[in-house]
Amino acid sequence: SLKEPLKVMISGAPSSGKGTQCELIVKKFGLVHVSTGDLLRAEVSAGSEIGGKAKEYMENGLLVPDEIVTKILKSRLSQQDVRENGWLLDGYPRNLSQAQSLENMKIRPDICLMLDVPDDILIERCIGRRMDPVTGKIYHLKYFPPEMAEIYDRLIARPDDTEDKVKSRLETYKKNVEAISKTYMDVLHKIDGNHPRDMVFRQIESLLQVQSDKLETRTSDG
């Protein structure tokens, strides 16, 4: 196609709604969702060597060592679907060294969305989060309960979603957030994530639409 693919980065504290918004963004803009958390969880359930190394860190709410995460991210970003359709990068970079790895590889987003949600709300969202192991869909016991009792009965919680682990994940996030916002200062947009899902998405949607129109104009201008 004539159009250059859009490249979007989404960042925000644990449970700020990144995965939830990514699902809506993918539906509307057709980007490839690349979530390092999802990639790592897939390695853990597959019982791979990488998964074996990552498991303990993840279950304890600690960052997985940079070289492991950067390696799987690099291999995912080099695949055909990403190059054709553009990417939506979720959960990476998480610190200065990861941001520098991307800069060194000349991988830059057209726009970086940063979801902003107060601490007490984040904790409530994390603790109530459940996943459907059959479809991979994310629910919340209070905000997005499943439609059917059958789904409700099979929901599982993530081992890192206990209150104390959420608090330590949040601290790690706060320690590193400035490195991220400085690196992407020129393309950064803060989003108020403390609203219902669809209201948050409307803010994101209009920002991405502007960005996508810009790329289209740039490409057709030559």
- Of the listed pieces 76-84, 89-97, 147-155, 211-219, which binds ligand AP5 according to CB under 6 A? 89-97
76 given a catalytic annotation? no
Dihedral (Cα; 172, 111, 81, 31), 10-degree rounding: 100
Measure the CA–CA gap between 133 and 141, rounded to whole angstroms: 15
Q: Which range binds ligand AP5 by CB under 6 A, 77-85, 174-182, 192-200, 204-212?
A: 192-200
Q: Which of 7, 41, 55, 158 is catalytic?
A: 158
Q: Which residue type sits at 3? A: K
**Catalytic-labelled residue, pool 55, 76, 125, 169:** 169
Yes or no: say if 110 and 7 are a contact pair by the CB < 8 Å rule. Answer: yes
20 binds ligand AP5 (CB under 6 A): yes
Has 169 been annotated as catalytic?
Answer: yes
Nearest approach in angstroms of CB 171 to ligand AP5 is 12
**Minimal CA–CA distance to 196: which of 117, 80, 135?**
117
Around Cβ 63, how many Cβ atoms within 10 Å?
15
- Cα–Cα distance measured from residue 61 to residue 12, given in angstroms and rounded to the nearest whole number: 15
- Which residue, 35 or 212, has its beta carbon nearer to ligand AP5? 35
**Amino acid identity, position 61:** G
Can you tell me which of 44, 63, 107, 123 binds ligand AP5, judged by CB under 6 A? 63
The per-residue b/e assignment along 186-201, b for 16 or more CB within 10 angstroms, e otherwise, is: ebbeebebeeebeebb
Is 91 a residue that touches ligand AP5 (CB under 6 A)?
yes
The site map against ligand AP5 for 129-168 (x = CB under 6 A) is x--------xxx--xx---------------x--------
- Residue 36 binds to ligand AP5 (criterion: CB under 6 A): yes
Catalytic residue among 7, 18, 76, 125: 18
The residue among 3 and 199 lying less far from ligand AP5, judged by its C-beta, is: 199
Q: Is 14 left (phi over 0), alpha (psi -120 to 50) or beta?
A: beta
Contact 110, 215 (CB under 8 A): yes
Site for ligand AP5, rule CB under 6 A:
12, 14-20, 36-37, 40, 57-58, 61-64, 69, 91-92, 94, 98, 125, 128-129, 138-140, 143-144, 160, 169, 196-197, 200
**Residues noted as catalytic:** 18, 94, 129, 158, 169
